[in-house]
Structure 1
Amino acid sequence: MFGPLQHSDVDQASLTPQASQQLGGDTWVVFHGGNMGNWWKSANYVGEPRRCYPEQNQRHREVRGHGAVLPSGSGGAAGTVPAALWAVTHTPVSCSAMLGPAHGARAARGHHGSDNKEHSCVLGTEDFLPLIIIRFPWQLVKAKVRRTIEEALKVWSDVTPLTFTEVQEGRADIVIDFTRYWHGDNLPFDGPGGILAHAFFPKTHREGDVHFDYDETWTIGNNLGTDLLQVAAHEFGHVLGLQHTAVSKSLMSPFYIFRYPLSLSEDDKQGIQYLYGKPSEHPDPTPTQPAELPQPDLETNEITNVEVSALQPDACLTAFDAAATIRGELFFFSSRFVWRLRAGRLQDGYPALASRHWQGIPSSVDATFEDPLGNIWFFQDSQYWIYDGERRVSGPTPIVELGLPASPVQAALVWGAEKNKIYIFSGGNYWRFNPQRRQVDNIYPRAMADWRGVPAEIDAAFQDELGFAYFLRGRDYWKFDPVQVKVLEGYPRQISQDFFSCTPSSNSFR
């Protein structure tokens, strides 16, 4: 995968991994170094060299030039193999010793496969490789993700006999999943930033698995997040058996550089054809793709460059209408705009129009929260909307159907150690809400006096990762202790100063 490096900083020294770690047995993970840029991420790839490769002869070493692996001191180029075939470090002599002629592993064992498969570093037993997608990123609708995955695989199928088809169930050679933190392979993700994805080489215990970090800001076709097309195409190269190359501008370079259009370098092409052969002159008909269910709102809302506008409000002077923790990030809403904070820092490109994330969202938001199932609820006046990620699944719907009065909701709070209690505030009262039943509990409403020290009228509320609740009114906020069940000493404080690093102001609303 990709190492953190700015394009202008690329040099040969930066291409050297910091370290390799053996995780038991023969599995190796290579972590890459370099200078961290604004959106350059490190990642790793996984393989078991001893199953795919014979032990390295100490007289041999990797030559990290234009695609050659030569005996130490050799001056010739006979038997060279594309550099994309080789790992950057800790990799013994490659599959070349077992593959035979340079027409590829599949050519060597017969186009339809044979027992030689057990002695080569290729995926599957046929040229037809089914794939399945387990989970999807929240920022993008499923149809767009599917098209992007198809495009990423196409760069490899265009130059080989391989065909890829998504299946909904049954056996799959490639298993794609967007997952979080610890997810069952002893290679945990680390939240936003850092590791983007990892893939398992052929002949490893999880061959064909490709995991993407669910918490990344996945985008398509722009550089304000992590471009799914380029990361996916790179990972598919690994899952098919390719390793990193030092050849510049190659897709299998260990460094992520945002560039379009996506294409293979000659080195990438030679590497994949060495393993799988060239495309057939008379290709078989493309297998029928499974019918895709129609989905509403197929237009996605990936973040694009936000035009500088005089209408954009200044966070230092703004009284926010709503706030919520969504997918582990803090969002503030005011009028049509949204601010996005990750790890306490305002993200580039914000404030942005909220409609860039959620098409069809009302022009202003009174309250919002993310329920335990990951659905995002928005309230405005006497109606509510529900989104699955950035895709609207329902709304507008009258809030009276939830058992609430027709008056506007002022705030919503996800509360409790398990974050499974949701409270809705309006008119000096509050209700406990069950999103599964879509009804408020019948012992409510209750008076705001239960929340000791919190004003009767509030504009927004949210809970942090430590369990503290924050109540906003005007440009001030109150921090509520879940243990003492009251507001902490020293509050209210200014939102602008503590969340947006603004100069303290005397013009707060209290």
Structure 2
Amino acid sequence: LPSRIIRFPWQLVKAKVRRTIEEALKVWSDVTPLTFTEVQEGRADIVIDFTRYWHGDNLPFDGPGGILAHAFFPKTHREGDVHFDYDETWTIGNSLGTDLLQVAAHEFGHVLGLQHTAVSKSLMSPFYIFRYPLSLSEDDKQGIQYLYGKPSPEPDPTPTQPAELPQPDLETNEITNVEAVQPDACHAAFDAAATIRGELFFFRSRYVWRLRAGKLQDGYPALASRHWQGIPSSVDATFEDPLGNIWFFQDSQYWIYDGERRVSGPTPIVELGLPASPVQAALVWGAEKSKVYIFSGGNYWRFNPHRRQVDNIYPRAMADWRGVPPEIDAAFQDELGFAYFLRGRDYWKFDPVQVKVLEGYPRQISQDFFSCTPSS
């Protein structure tokens, strides 16, 4: 099978990258009849690229940390494509950054048809943890040999076609970092929530959940600090302003990020015209996302992110939001313009036309957003 590298990571010389890619493919060819050859032009069955953010496949990267790479399964519209996040600190054979050999071997497993496994210490685990030397677990080996068979005594120039396996709803798999014990969304009361870059993020303690098109993405929950270095250990409120800046609040301070780069903070919220008390929630509201509301202590303020000041230092009462409880934990707006207000493990859906909460609410966050079994 021919493979081709389109672009290279800036930290590593091309010759080392080529050797590492060859070694990552050899992990699989050693236990199957498959053979791989690099080509530098023309058609290739495996196309490797180091790219950034939005890059044409509707699966944007997120800067340093978080999502490291993704690949497309056989018999999908981009089969054979393997994308690495250019903004990672790629290394080879050490834990000073992200080890290219381990991530590449994992992604090549997906290109060949393997899905993630729940078996610990497997190469096809959805979480990146540096291990050296690289090796396949018995589960990895059995999976790839189920698809392609065992090595032939004499190499077969025509690799066998992979056995049919059911493919997941998403035709790509992403690998991300993991550490520590992660909270369970089915039993969590979230601290904050926001729509950021068109995706829905829920925050609890140090962790963040990421939903794309209503589906929780692989590798989440993850540490929020992997997206936003220097973010406080927990977040009281967050929103993305019309300029694309991401604001985080904790206690009586706030931080501003441009993507994953911190622009400012911590800064006292009194400089925004707010009282020196914790912000409970923030809501970006309206078709043009032109209105920002900040909630605290049963009151709310309209906030102007361009001037970085509230419109009036005197707040209004939560009673304006008919049907919404006076104390809330988080708020966000969906793509249809509905607002969602969270308190504890429940949420209220707010109609922008009727200007009140819809009938049938509150409902459980865990059930509707994370497909958990309803709790009594």
- TM-score in terms of structure 2 length: 0.58
Q: What is residue 124 of structure 2 aligned with on the other side? A: 252
Counterpart of 1:432 (choices 302, 305, 311) is 302
Cα pair distance change 1:477/1:267, threshold 3 Å = closer
Check whether the contact 1:329–1:340 (CA below 8 A) recurs between aligned residues: yes
Cα pair distance change 1:194/1:382, threshold 3 Å = closer
The structure carrying a bigger strand percent of its residues is 2
Q: What is residue 179 of structure 1 aligned with on the other side? A: 51
Q: How far off is 1:442 after superposition?
A: 2.0
Task: Deviation per CA, 1:443-502: give whole Å up to 9, x if none.
Answer: 741111111110000000000111110000000000001111110000000000000111
Task: Deviation per CA, 1:136-187: give whole Å up to 9, x if none.
Answer: 9999999999999999999999999999999999999999999999999999
DSSP-derived class of the 2:75 partner: coil
Cα pair distance change 1:472/1:139, threshold 3 Å = farther
Cα pair distance change 1:216/1:423, threshold 3 Å = farther
Cα pair distance change 1:145/1:461, threshold 3 Å = farther
Q: Residues of 1 paired with 2:147 and 2:364: CA distance?
A: 61
Task: Deviation per CA, 1:380-425: give whole Å up to 9, x if none.
Answer: 0000011111121111100000000000000000110111211100
Cα pair distance change 1:340/1:449, threshold 3 Å = same
DSSP-derived class of the 2:194 partner: strand
- Which structure has the larger Rg over C-alpha atoms? 1
Q: How far off is 1:313 after superposition?
A: 1.1
Cα pair distance change 1:277/1:460, threshold 3 Å = closer
Check whether the contact 1:140–1:302 (CA below 8 A) recurs between aligned residues: no
Percent identity over the alignment is 96
Cα pair distance change 1:159/1:182, threshold 3 Å = same
Cα pair distance change 1:302/1:247, threshold 3 Å = closer
Check whether the contact 1:452–1:485 (CA below 8 A) recurs between aligned residues: yes
Task: Deviation per CA, 1:74-122: give whole Å up to 9, x if none.
Answer: xxxxxxxxxxxxxxxxxxxxxxxxxxxxxxxxxxxxxxxxxxxxxxxxx
Where does structure 1 differ by over 4 angstroms across 4 or more consecutive aligned residues?
129-303
Q: How far off is 1:327 after superposition?
A: 1.0
Cα pair distance change 1:305/1:264, threshold 3 Å = closer
Check whether the contact 1:452–1:487 (CA below 8 A) recurs between aligned residues: yes
Cα pair distance change 1:183/1:428, threshold 3 Å = same
Check whether the contact 1:140–1:389 (CA below 8 A) recurs between aligned residues: no
Q: Residues of 1 paired with 2:266 and 2:311: CA distance?
A: 22
Q: How far off is 1:347 after superposition?
A: 1.1
- Could you tell me which runs of 5 or more consecutive residues in structure 2 were left unpaired when the two chains were aligned: none
Q: What is residue 415 of structure 1 aligned with on the other side? A: 285
Cα pair distance change 1:236/1:130, threshold 3 Å = same
Check whether the contact 1:301–1:356 (CA below 8 A) recurs between aligned residues: no
- TM-score in terms of structure 1 length: 0.44
Check whether the contact 2:72–2:79 (CA below 8 A) recurs between aligned residues: yes
Structure 2 residue 305 is matched with structure 1 residue 474: no
DSSP-derived class of the 1:241 partner: coil
Please provide the CA RMSD for this pair. Answer: 12.0
Q: What is residue 232 of structure 1 aligned with on the other side? A: 104
Check whether the contact 2:190–2:204 (CA below 8 A) recurs between aligned residues: yes
DSSP-derived class of the 1:283 partner: coil
Q: Residues of 1 paired with 2:30 and 2:95: CA distance?
A: 26
Report how many residues are paired.
Answer: 376
Cα pair distance change 1:204/1:299, threshold 3 Å = closer
Cα pair distance change 1:247/1:169, threshold 3 Å = same
